[in-house]
Structure 1
């Protein structure tokens, strides 16, 4: 190991530069004193570790290090004080005695096995996507979130909804509180597949649903949970949108809570104010705020840390959510083409010729006002929320930049003979998309223009059943599947059909086709085929409900789902 001394603006026995820096930041100088206390212990540090441990921005820590004489191990990108005992400050000896209380830190030793499991899960998880503002939380943080839920709330019989879950909070909650029903809504197909696979491996139940929150919360998760947890993009628009969707997922409007992770640099209080203003616009009560509760592998600009808010809705919250939830726009992130600072995207210049050749009977999405005047239009959230009142043969969809992940759902939301989709960039993997949609469409792509042509009705029982289910994409999947299965097999009762479906696809409960992650859509044809061939379960010994009552129950369930999917 080769080490190199580095001298900053102050010598080891004269701390004028350090003292001046601490004085310059005023009462916030405690952060620097804490960093000095850690360095004076004599151990090696990386910049990332020191930032995270002190919850102090990288710029501030770098300013401190410039005033110190350091010994550097460049091979391992780490450093330590050259003469720890020579660094003095009048506050340094007292700083450890006044650390802010961690409400659940004392519980961590009892759950060291879960912490180790989460550390492994986080290490193996799909890499974060910077355009989605992904930064992984530490294993300690994720477990402490789950512990705080149990320490603060009665969890018996409750449901927890994770609105976005790159941090894998859902798995921590399921491991520590196995009696809690846990659900996840996320835009990242990789994360949804990973959570589902790891939940199966660990023997815990976590329901996964695909969602681009800019288009709405999945129907099966609306008014579903008692508690919601979210760690959104740290912009006013991102925080406002994610919290609004989390609120729409609460079934108890009086007692429900939203736990929000949000952090800002100590250097940017104005940004924190903008975010808190977006929360104030939702008329929420701040029940608690735990400073620096969340720690991250990254996000050094904000000290690799974020506060944890406990938010409670008021009677004024719900009108505010209804008025604001669909108005945050698509630019909600801090970086990339969907960032709040990116230029607003416009449709490609070839939109006009495409519309002329496609001759659509319905326009979906934000087409130019001058395009095809007189042709009916519908917004994308409405298109995905409920079946269109008419049954058009030809549809044209304008796919917004950054919402390409919704394309399979946009196509399955109609029974049109032909759908023309105009994107901002070509489809990246047409073969993979075709494999998912093969039972319904034949796809062709010409640059940014995608054409989906409906294939003829199939002839085999399995293919017909798959087609019938996919053609009812807005309806509750299990209900359509059950009725189609009974019709195909002829001798099944409703309870037997339900049992076959639950055995083949336990993940289908309460979902619609449009909510399923892509990995479940790929599994769906095989699962449907399996229910056609499987032996029917033995009839139940419980008294069967009268036929009229059974039909009424099914009708009520379908009506409830239809109402949940109707934003009006």
Structure 2
């Protein structure tokens, strides 16, 4: 008992956490360490320190008290009902079916990637997020931007409130495919966009949303970047809000201060912070829990966001090649594969060492993806740092040069497939990928697809419509737009650069279907309607 009393005494006014652990143990049930950490939102180190002071009966990875020490109930002095109030916990029992649905969707979701700091939230958590947004804000006709959504908050919100339009941006192609597939199956208004947020927010997500929610990497750099992108996604600069999940161990307040300092640099108002609102399967170092922040921009937020994203680092994660601790300059890798003098490019894209072709024009990766290059270079060389390989297909699509040389940190696991193979002849030697633009196609479907890919920065619905009109005299804009909508309802306001890999792979077949429909229209088959958004 002395050891327990000492631990509680050292906790001071934060002694509610260890007392909650003792109260849970005193109940007599079997626990796993992960369950006990998540139930009490107490860090693993604190829980383990308490467990060392009591006698435990064990069965596999489960344990329980053999006999509660005398007086433990009095020392605990706390029950779950006495924990900090959850603003929507009382609503949860009325949504048991939704929780069950989310449990199934989460169980089917792709496994988290450590290099992306993925830790899955519980089904209760994502439903409570949806309930809180529904209780706090007017969601009829509202737009929600999910800045990363490994937790599937988008699906929970759409199921709870079908009147919300939702856009998900994420770097993980598997998550985008999982969300879009279930959204289509369930008839939900959820659209998906690929993005490496270090390189920018997708054009179709800029100034689009009324609310944004994010559960980013728990580093100051990750919090600052994801929150800045969430702010960029707001269309309502006065009433828009950003919901942010962030957690730290009760033992490391300095880490929480660094994150909150990063938020303060964005000049955001913290309207509310709900302690331990989010619970996770994992992240035991922080008690498998995170607070939920409700942030509101001010007039000073927008210039602060611009400054933040201009000066950001690619190192934002806690694990992997782009972790804050392991990040290294891209220069040495790029230098070892510098272009031969006889193949000197006219533009260097990315972070090349200053002494490599110092007189050649340079531009950033983010700029290359954001807008078409003003010139018409024949050769381009691109340097891609470790951890950003997923951007390779989009960097090639954003390039209109005849020859492209891409230097990666390591040899690629494979080369991009369709539709890149209809645009380039691709080869790889070590970490260098070479792309040589193919000759203009001769078939109608090839010409339409090439027109789309040659204008990858433009809205897909527009470039697709233009391509159809080019191959079919007499086809009106309205007819062509209807053909695009029929072949690809997902085209909408998206650009080719934002399409998830699954949609990119579908593009050639969808273009083929629209060309066939255009042929039928030319033969006298009626093409009517004004479906979809105007291109």
TM-score bracket for the superposition, by shorter chain length: over 0.9
Partner of 2:368, secondary structure, is helix
- Check if 1:482 corresponds to 2:430: no
How far apart, in 2, do the equivalents of 1:514 and 1:495 lie? Answer: 25
List aligned pairs for 1:549-568, cutoff 5 A. Answer: none
Residue 88 of structure 1 deviates from its aligned partner by: 1.9
Q: 2:401 aligns with which of 383, 396, 416?
A: 416
Shift of 1:354: 2.6
Matched, 1:514 2:497: yes
Alpha-carbon contact 1:160-1:183 (below 8 Å) kept: yes
Change in CA separation of 1:255 and 1:488 when aligned onto 2, cut-off 3 Å: same
Deviations 1:457-498 (A, max 9, x none): 110000111111011000011001012112223343222222
Counterpart in 1 of 2:423? 440
Q: Does 1:24 align with 2:16?
A: no
Q: Secondary structure at the match of 2:121?
A: coil
Matched, 1:122 2:106: yes
Alignment correspondent of 1:318: 302
Matches within 5 A, 1:441-480: 441-480=424-463
Q: TM-score, normalised by structure 2?
A: 0.96
Q: How far off is 1:94 after superposition?
A: 4.1
Cα distance in 1 for residues equivalent to 2:125 and 2:71:
32
Distance (whole Å) between structure 2 residues aligned to residue 496 and residue 110 of structure 1: 47
Query: Which residue is equivalent to 1:305?
Result: 289
Separation in structure 2 between the aligned mates of residue 289 and residue 541 of structure 1, nearest angstrom:
48
> How well do the aligned residues superpose, as a CA RMSD in angstroms?
1.7
Aligned residues: 527
2: distance between equivalents of 1:41 and 1:71? Answer: 14
1:426 paired to 2:416: no
Provide the residue aligned with 2:32 in structure 1.
Answer: 46
Which residue number in structure 2 is paired with residue 546 of structure 1? Answer: none
Aligned residue number for residue 110 of structure 1: 94
Q: Structure 1 residue runs of 4+, over 3 Å off?
A: 84-87, 93-97, 349-353, 535-542
Q: 1:517 to 1:410 in 2, by over 3 A?
A: same
- Asked whether the 8 Å contact 1:30–1:95 carries over to 2, the reply is no
SS of the equivalent of 1:462 reads helix
Instruction: Name the residue aligned to 2:373.
Output: 388
Q: Is the 8 A contact 2:482 2:528 kept in 1?
A: no
Residue among 487, 492, 498 paired with 1:504: 487
Equivalent position of 1:137 in the other structure: 121
Partners of 2:71 and 2:29 lie apart in 1 by: 14
Secondary structure of the residue aligned to 2:304 is: helix
- Paired residue for 1:243? 227
How far apart, in 1, do the equivalents of 2:322 and 2:57 lie? 42
Report the alpha carbon displacement of residue 91 of structure 1 after superposing the two structures with TM: 4.7
Query: Do 1:355 and 1:396's aligned partners in 2 also have CA atoms closer than 8 Å?
Result: no
Which secondary structure does the structure 1 equivalent of 2:120 belong to?
A: coil
* CA separation of 1:97 and 1:394: change in aligned 2, threshold 3 A: closer
* TM-score when normalising by structure 1: 0.90
Q: What is the alpha-carbon distance in structure 2 between the residues aligned to residue 507 and residue 107 of structure 1?
A: 34
Runs of 5+ in structure 2 lacking a partner? Answer: none
Shift of 1:516: 0.5
What is the deviation of 1:511?
0.5
Partners of 2:497 and 2:352 lie apart in 1 by 23
Which residue is 1:178 aligned to?
Answer: 162
Q: Does the 8 Å contact 1:40/1:85 carry over to 2?
A: no
